[in-house]
A and B are shown apart, each in its own frame.
Chain A
Amino acid sequence: MMQALFQATIEFLKAFWAPLLCGVAIVAILPLIVGYIVLVERKLMADMQARLGPMRVGPHGLLQPIADAVKLLIKEDIIPDDADKLVFWLAPVLSVSAALLALAGLAIGPAFQIAQDINIGILFVVGVSALGIFGIVLGGWASNSHYSLMGALRSSAQLVSYETAAGMALVSALLFTGTLNIKAIVEAQSKEGIWFVLLAPVAFFCYLVASIAETNRAPFDLPEAESELVAGYMTEFSGFRWSLYFLAEYANMIVVASVATTLFLGGWLRPFAHVSWLNVLDFVPTLLMVIVAAYCLQRTPKQPTRVQQMFMLAVAGLCFVLGIVLLAPVVVPIAKPFYAGIHGGFWFIFKVSLYIYFFMWLRFTIPRYRFDQLMRLGWHFLIPLSIINVLLVGVALIAGAYFNLKGWGLLLVTTPAAVIALVVALLILAAEKSRGARPDQTAASDFYAG
């Protein structure tokens, strides 16, 4: 019996060692990545707000995430007396595991994917990441606090509404591929030679807005609206539990950004992957790394202590090595087979970063929606628009098939579709405006009904 079990384990390991390794890497490294995304966010925020941001821990605050993590880990773990202990314990874990599980379905370049070639790829990612809402609702309910409860209710209503719009937006893009398999989706974009963001811009816009709402980011960060609900569903959570929620939120950001990249932005493909005279673009990754390295080198003498200087040098060295790694497949013939993997990974991460950068940019620029406005935007604007867009894209595709259009030629039919969708959007907005910007003050409307 034992032997059979052992044998089976060995067999399993033999067959799935690569995905397992990837899985361990995700669980082990993701918190660190999230920590650095937070650092980047704080630095960006500081830059936009005319200040410096974290500067104390490590050169330019580079070690701040680690200090933060250690602080959160050793904090006292408080569970409110009246809380439902089991659910309180379970909720953040649920949130974070859903987010991590969703990452398993994604392909970071053709080589790196944990759950390889599942035929419902995108559906799996979207479905599993939506499960994270349970963590939020349960956490808010289990805390037994009014603020938490309101945050949780807002969150569930918001997620349900915007998940619909996001799903419809995804459908528009999926119409072009006819498959849910993540690799196949990117390969379809490679075959057409055009990214779906150009073919279905309205769908991309819908997904962009819906994904911001889904991840509870500003201007849709109502579930955790600091100025209203203290911290929303996270109010009663502290220390490590709180950091789990935080991890889940940022992991979710990575997930939605990856989904958008895969479906609309050509996944791991280089811009103009099949235009041979633009092969110079292959040097862009290396150039970028060298620029970062040069900047670090230039800053090194300005660091106050020796340790910090060494650290800065190490960062520069790392960037330089990365640059060489990225250069190797382009110039060294032996390294050619690794081209797709290495450069695919770079472009994928690059696009995901741009998407997340956009999230951050929005957060620091615009105020927060009110809850009823958010719901109205979702139900009265985004959902109708995305549904109509599916219809229009479908018609465009039929027309495209009739005229036998391929690749860039498809633009001939999809552009009119996008224009019509845009007109529809403007009409909806105009109708909204004439209906009056505010609902009746006295009427008690049930915003959670959605």
Chain B
Amino acid sequence: MLGADELVINMGPQHPSTHGVLRVKLKLDGERVIGSECIIGYLHRGVEKIAENRTYQQFAPYVDRMDYVAAVSSGLGYCEAIEKLLIVEAPPRARVIRTILTELQRIASHLLWLGTHALDIGALTPLFYCFREREEILKIFEKYCGARLTTHAFRIGGLQYEAHDTFEKDVERFCKDFESRIVEYETLLTQNRIWIGRTKGVGILTAADAIAFGVTGPVLRASGVKWDIRKAMPYAAYDQYKFEIPVGTTGDTYDRYLVRMEEMRQSRLICLQAIENIPTGPIMAKVGKVLKPPPGEVYHAIEAPKGEIGYYVVSDGTVMPYRVHIRPPSFINLQAFDRMVRGHLVADVVAIIGTIDIVLGEVDR
């Protein structure tokens, strides 16, 4: 019609729904995507290189800046990795409080995902409802450690701060409110014909593909693979709590939506179980002021809201790590984008970017 069979469109780096500075080169036939290429690196800060020039404690706040909407989870992974390297263990009280905060962070991260994902698909209102609840979680973080976003809540060896006086009450109140709130989002979306039409069958990722791409987190579970590090290799205090791992069947956008919704419910249950019985005792293990781990290497992964975030740390016995490699879930999940997007329409592209749930700070590091 226009004398052009293929249209190449640059989506981003400044586009309302590429969630930051992702740039997607789309090859289009009409509105149908026949090829895509993700161009990343606009937020590259060389986090891994910075790590080599900081002491172990100094580097801890940097990991918060990767996945800045789930800073607590990134921090937990790093702290536990170094603890593994030091061969110390955080005391039980610290581990339970860590679990509670990390699960709250998972809810907050999923809420942000839900709001923006719905916004991408054209539902304006859920965003504000989600932010209303996320605000409550951020308030708990603020009360606990003074920061809301890049919290640096944990320290290597445990916690710096004792839980504030109203900690249990705050968490309990949030969990109580949240039960009905999540029903509110579901009434807006789950049974909505347009929502189902826009998400069902869109961006299908088969289980085999998902494993081949190394995809983790809700994206993997929605494809039907029951893999959750909280169960497979329990860390913090997860082995003490009962929770389910929701899995999907087809691995489409709708399944990923359902999986994340259910995960929020499960996180809420974990929080409720945890505040029932927070052990007393110290919050910090005995680690020195100057950390000099014995030479060696360690890989430690935790289940962050977006998937497996892993830290591979090599120590040469000095105060600074010899090498820190980070396995960011967003970066690896994004690799499946092209497979998911081919053959779909432009409108589906934004739905698929949203459903992978990437944070560009973590993709680019």
Residues of A in contact with B (beta carbons under 8 Å apart): 45, 48-51, 146-147, 149-150, 218-219, 221-222, 225-230, 363-373, 437-438, 441-442, 444, 446-448
A residues near B15, Cβ cutoff 8 Å: 230
Task: Assess the B194–A146 pair: CB atoms within 8 A.
Answer: no
Cβ-based interface call for B125 (8 A): yes
A222-B9 Cα distance, complex, nearest whole Å: 17
In the complex, the answer to whether A447 meets B30 with C-beta atoms within 8 Å is: yes
> Are A366 and B123 in contact, CB atoms less than 8 angstroms apart?
yes
A51 touches B128 (CB 8 A): yes
Tell me if A49 and B124 are in contact (CB < 8 A). Answer: yes
- Give bound CA distance, A444 to B344, whole Å: 10
Q: Which residues of A contact B127 (CB under 8 A)?
A: 49
Chain B residue numbers with a CB within 8 Å of A371 are 31, 345-347
CB nearest to B132 among chain A residues = A50
CA distance A371 to B15 in the complex (A): 20
Given A50-B128, A218-B122, A447-B30 in contact, is the A369-B343 Cβ separation under 8 Å? no
Check if A146 sits within 8 Å of B7, measured CB to CB: yes
With a cutoff of 8 Å between Cβ atoms, the chain A residues found around residue B188 in the complex are: 365
* Minimum distance in angstroms from B333 CB to a CB of chain A: 20
Partner of A364, one of B9, B32, B124, B346: B124
Contact A227 B121 (CB under 8 A): yes
Let me know if A370 and B348 touch, CB within 8 A: yes
Interface residues of B (CB under 8 A from A): 1-2, 7, 9, 15-17, 29-32, 118-125, 127-129, 132, 188-189, 192, 194-195, 197-198, 200-201, 343-350
Which single residue of chain A is at the shortest CB-CB distance from B1? A448
With A146-B7, A370-B347 given, is the CB distance from A447 to B123 under 8 Å? no
Complex: chain A residue closest to B17, CB-CB? A227
Which B residues lie within 8 Å of A51 (CB)?
128
Q: For the complex, what is the distance from the CA of A150 to the CA of B346, rounded to whole Å?
A: 10
Kindly list chain B residues whose C-beta atoms are within 8 Å of the C-beta of A367: 118, 121-123, 189, 192, 194-195, 198
Chain B hits for A225, CB < 8 A:
122, 347
Which of chain A's residues have a CB closer than 8 A to the CB of B189? 367
Task: Give the distance to chain B from A447, nearest Cβ to Cβ, in Å.
Answer: 6
Most buried by A among B198, B345, B347: B347
Query: What residues of chain A lie closer than 8 Å to B29, measured between beta carbons?
Result: 444
What's the Cα separation between A225 and B200 when bound, in Å? 20
Max chain B C-beta neighbours (<10 A), residue from A222, A227, A442: A227
Nearest residue in B to A441 (C-beta to C-beta)?
B343
Assuming A226-B16, A227-B16, is B30 touching A446 (CB within 8 A)? yes
Collect the chain B residues with CB atoms within 8 Å of residue A227's CB: 16-17, 119-122, 350
Nearest CB in chain A: distance from B148 CB, A: 19
How distant is the Cα of A146 from the Cα of B15 in the complex, in angstroms?
13
Cα–Cα, bound, A150→B7 (Å): 10
Residues from chain B with a CB closer than 8 A to the CB of A372 are 345
Q: Which residues of B contact A366 (CB under 8 A)?
A: 122-123, 192, 194-195
Return the chain B residue nearest A446 by Cβ.
B30
Please give 13 more A-B residue pairs, beta carbons under 8 A apart, in addition to A368-B194, A368-B198: A50-B129, A51-B128, A219-B194, A226-B17, A227-B17, A227-B119, A227-B121, A227-B350, A365-B125, A366-B122, A370-B198, A371-B31, A444-B30
Complex-state Cα separation, A146 to B17, whole angstroms: 17
Residues of B within 8 A of A448 (CB): 1, 30
A369 to B195, CA, bound (A): 8
Q: In the complex, A418→B312 CA distance in Å?
A: 69
- Name 26 interchain pairs, CB-CB below 8 A, sorted by A: A49-B127, A50-B128, A146-B7, A150-B31, A227-B122, A227-B350, A228-B346, A229-B346, A230-B16, A364-B125, A365-B123, A366-B123, A366-B192, A366-B195, A367-B123, A367-B192, A367-B195, A369-B197, A369-B198, A370-B197, A370-B348, A373-B197, A373-B198, A437-B200, A446-B30, A447-B31
| Bound: A150/B31 CA distance, A | 8
